Amino acid sequence: GVHLGYLVFMLVSTLKDANIESEVHMDHLAGVLPNIAKLPDGARLLTEPGCSYIKQLIPQLKAASKARREGTALMLKNICLHRGEYPELMLKQGGIDFIPSIIQPLSGETPREGSDLVREGLAGAVQVLASTPDGLDALLAHDAHARLRTGYADEEHRPVLEAIEITADYFLASGRLPEEYHDKSDVGGYATAAVVDDDDDDVDAGDDDGPGMMLLGTNYRL
């Protein structure tokens, strides 16, 4: 715990540091975060109640350094892959800027996120969060269904596309999207949402014409 606290301190303090050479020198430290989060004990420490590691690290997603953005995004994904209580603990500790910060790079909005790894990590985290009650509430409260659809239209990295498609399935399965969003006039309009296997850590798009695709394509109007 002490070593993790020092690592977070070094990343946070140098992000705000006016000494550019110092910031660049510490960029590589972000690469350690995903490895820590892969371990159950690491995910536990990162999301431990009373700590603020997630909230402190979220601003790294806006760093000029690609290494910092990638390390932070992949850390969030790896925490979520442990499932259980970790995704919602991460959400609670992330603060009010957490959901907007992880959705913006996937939305296609400016400034556009150019790193495939950043978008892949965040899309994986969003997919798991959408499978949890609190995560789904938070995502829908920030119009993630509409913003992800916009980003999906211009996305080319397949792992990101697949994660967004599965996230769309969760949105549909919730039954909480406004009726006016449905466009059942198109041929092949959906009737029910697919069941997503929460125990499957791999992102799997399933059928290309499944409910998630309909949310993101012409059969679903957002």
Tens of pLDDT along 4-15? 999 999 999 888
Residue 140 tokens read as: 């829908």
Structure confidence at residue 35 (pLDDT): 97
Structure confidence at residue 172 (pLDDT): 87
pLDDT category at 216 given cuts 50, 70, 90 is: low
Tell me the whole-structure pTM to 2 decimals: 0.83
144 Cβ contact list (under 8 Å, min separation 6): 99, 103, 126, 130, 167, 171
- The neighbour count for residue 147, using CB atoms within 10 Å, is 19
Position of tokens 């009650």?
133
Structure confidence at residue 146 (pLDDT): 92
pLDDT digits (tens, 9 = 90+) for 153-211: 999 999 999 999 999 999 989 988 777 555 544 322 223 333 344 454 544 434 445 55
- Angle subtended by helix axes 133-141 and 86-94, to nearest 10: 40
Position of tokens 């997630």?
54
Distance CA 18, CA 84 (A): 40
